[in-house]
Amino acid sequence: MSFSESSLEYDLFENMRRRLAHLLADEGREEIEAERVALYIMQGVREVPKLLNALASRNTSDAEARDILNLVLEGAASLERARALLLGIDEAAD
């Protein structure tokens, strides 16, 4: 959680992570793997709403929007890890 993030926002993302982990576990994934995948996915998408809001707002400078875009792109690595786990791809083989 960052200092700019509200407690409500943190709680919302945490609840979504838990729900996703539960969904994946219910589909037959081991609990620890489901938790890892859910964490990676939430890390990967966490900044996307901020980017969308920044792009929709006339009050956001291009530099601010670019900074948020960079955060979104950094999160893409987490999404790739989640994808690899979901597809059963051995990350060590890369």
Tens of pLDDT, residue by residue over 14-48, are 999 999 999 999 999 999 999 999 999 999 999 99
Percent of all residues in the chain with a pLDDT value above 90, rounded to a whole number? 83
In this structure, the chain runs to a length of 94
Name 54's Cβ contacts closer than 8 Å, sequence gap at least 6: 60, 64, 65, 68
Rounded Cα–Cα distance for residues 57 and 59 (Å) = 5
Do 78 and 45 form a contact (C-beta atoms < 8 A)?
Answer: no
Say what the pTM is. 0.81
Q: Give the three-class secondary structure for 72.
A: helix
CB atoms within 10 A of CB 62: 8
Residue range 66-75, pLDDT digits in tens? 999 999 999 9
